[in-house]
Amino acid sequence: MMPGRITNWLRGEGEAEAEAVARLAAAKDAAEAANEAKTRFLASVAHEIRSPLNAIYGYAQLIERGEGKDALGAAKVIRRSAEHLAHLVEGLLDIAQVEGGAMSLTREAIRFPEFLDQLMAMLELQAQAKGLALVLERPERLPEFVHADPKRLRQVMINLLANAIKFTDHGSVTLKVDYRNQLATFTVIDTGIGIAPEDAGRIFAPFERVGGPAGERPGVGLGLAITQALVHIMGGEIRLESAPGEGSRFMVRLMLSEPLTPPSEPAPQAGAVTGYLGRERWVLLIDDEPAHLAVVCGLLEPLGFQVRSARDAASGLALAAQLQPDLVLCDVALGSENGWEVAAQLRRRHGAALRIVMLSGEAPVSEGAGTDHDGFIMKPFAFDTLIDMIESQLGIEWVRAAGAPRAAPPELAGAAALPRIIAPLAAAHCAEIERLVRIGHVRAIEAEIDRIAALAPEAVPLAERMRASLDSFDLKALANLARSVRADAA
């Protein structure tokens, strides 16, 4: 080899090596950055959890010692802190779902103009409360139907509109909608405090909050992170234009295709379950919460089930031996006892013929969860969930009321039907529901409705009516119902 070519060859090899080193260094930097980001994220989560937790802890201790003079004020702080934690958990679950790739989108034909009107209706009260005009600017012609995941699209729009309202003190919030060639552009325009250019990038990161002291405007700093992630998994893009003091414009672009043929109306639903065919079935409930026992008894007895209940493991096992029930509904947490162990004993004594369904307020994590059950229901649950579970476990055929929609709530299900002792409790939940309707916090509304259902069997029809309004997204009807319950209870 000529000396010149040797030097070239050596140089070539040296360059390749240098390139490889640079590549590895870059990969290492990226891995370290990702690791640091994860550590920072976890530190932020811990920080975000700690302050409301401290408030709850501190105020609860004061009340316990009888030192808190203003117990009501303390209770409010505790409730607000608990709410903050609940939002945080919801946000984190959403983020985990998106990050873990576990979020799947539905594709439904939604009525586009109605969808937009409902959005406006949901945020109207919130805007009104701050004296802001809430405006929908849309072209006269919009497709009647578009394909979208309504829940996720709603979540994106509510996040942006609620932020616009939150960070605006005077003027207006406008949702401008354009639709051309299957491409929908939503622009949320506010006349609020605006965002400095140097902050525009980081507000999309979890827990990043800018502008004004913390606490001045409530929030956990996860909304935009979730919004951006959702827009991306929907295949769209989100952009921000803003300047301090000049308001903000968040623009979301999404392909929302128009169905070629308008979808047919949904098939009429089956009537409400009123009983079942075949021999009488026996159900044993094992739960240490009397309110819960009462609710489940109140649901199942009118359908013709023979229902017996036990409040601890020993009496549950004894009753099972005596009654030989068809189905046991067993709570996982039985005070100091463990529902999974009860299930194991039941299985050992009664074999596979006995159907065992576990109930729990927590998801069935693998640790500690047994394998001796046939079904699992997470509390709080809707009546239909229980009905579907019983059907699948006992293989029974339901008798349904003709014509009426499934789970149709009876018309006379207002506060008048509530026993006097629970009316004030229901009224308190209703006040909370009215508040949540204003901020459009659907999951929290569902939880409040479940709490009403858990008060007493007589409250279940009311809860069912509220659930029906929520399911059809008729938040106005839901708020009216809540208001009437409060008026009746007063």
Which residues would be at the binding site for ligand ADP (CB under 6 A)? 163-164, 167, 190, 192-193, 195, 203, 208-211, 219-225, 248
CB-nearer residue toward ligand ADP: 193 or 330? 193
Residue 403 near residue 271 (C-beta atoms within 8 A): yes
Specify the residue, 156 or 273, whose C-beta has the smaller distance to ligand ADP.
Answer: 156
Which stretches of 271-338 are DSSP H helices?
Answer: 290-300, 313-323
Q: Are 380 and 351 in contact (CB under 8 A)?
A: no
By C-beta, is 196 or 233 nearer to ligand ADP?
196
Residue 357 CB neighbour total at 10 angstroms? 20
Question: How far apart are CB 206 and ligand ADP at their closest, in Å?
Answer: 8
Cα gap 127→125, rounded to integer Å: 5
Q: Which residues neighbour 42 within 8 Å (Cβ) at sequence distance 6 or greater?
A: none
> Shortest gap between Cβ of 36 and ligand ADP (angstroms)?
21
Q: Which is nearer to ligand ADP, 59 or 250 (CB)?
A: 250
Min separation Cβ 122 and ligand ADP, Å: 17
As measured in angstroms, the least distance from the Cβ of 202 to ligand ADP is 9
CA pseudo-torsion sign 424, 430, 434, 436: positive
User: From the CB of 195, what's the least distance to ligand ADP, in Å?
Assistant: 5
CB of 184 to ligand ADP, least distance (A): 20
Residue 216 in contact with residue 225, Cβ under 8 Å?
no
Residue 368 CA, chain-centre distance (Å), reads 26
Output the smallest distance, CB 292 to ligand ADP, in A.
34
CB 294 within 8 A of CB 456: yes
Q: How far is the CB of 401 from ligand ADP (least distance, A)?
A: 45
CB of 243 to ligand ADP, least distance (A): 11
Which residues share a beta bridge with 284?
Answer: 308, 328
Give the Cα separation of 155 and 179 in Å (integer).
20
Task: Pick the closer one to ligand ADP by CB: 208 or 337.
Answer: 208
Least distance from C-beta 315 to ligand ADP, angstroms? 48
What's the half-sphere exposure (Cβ side, CA atoms, 13 Å) at 73?
5
Least separation in angstroms between residue 395's CB and ligand ADP is 48
**Cα-based angle 242, 146, 159 (whole degrees, multiple of 5):** 35
Instruction: Show the tokens assigned to 376.
Output: 């699992």
Nearer to ligand ADP, 193 or 433 (CB): 193
Inter-axis angle of helices 112-129 and 423-439, nearest 10: 110
Identify which of residues 177 and 224 has a Cβ nearer to ligand ADP in the complex: 224
- Cβ atoms 88, 44 nearer than 8 A: no
Q: Which of 123, 217, 215 is nearest to 172 (CA)?
A: 123
Question: What are the C-alpha distances in Å from 232 to residues 184, 200, 338?
Answer: 14, 18, 43
> Which is closer to ligand ADP, CB of 118 or CB of 248?
248
Task: Identify which of residues 120 and 428 has a Cβ nearer to ligand ADP in the complex.
Answer: 120
Q: Contact at 8 Å (CB) between 358 and 364?
A: yes
**Residue whose Cβ sits closest to ligand ADP:** 219
* Helix, strand, coil percent values for the chain (each to nearest 5): 55, 15, 30
Distance CA 155, CA 133 (A): 21
The nearer residue to ligand ADP, 97 or 338, going by C-beta atoms, is 97
**Smallest separation (angstroms) from ligand ADP to the CB of 163:** 4
Q: How far is Cα 77 from Cα 59, in angstroms, rounded to an integer?
A: 8
User: Nearest to residue 122, comparing CAs of 431, 380, 445?
Assistant: 445
Q: Which is nearer to ligand ADP, 209 or 400 (CB)?
A: 209
The DSSP bridge pattern shows strands 375-378 and 355-360 to be parallel
Nearer to ligand ADP, 155 or 163 (CB): 163
The residues with which 376 forms a beta bridge, in sequence order, are 358
Burial class (CB in 10 A: 0-12, 13-18, 19+), 369: middle
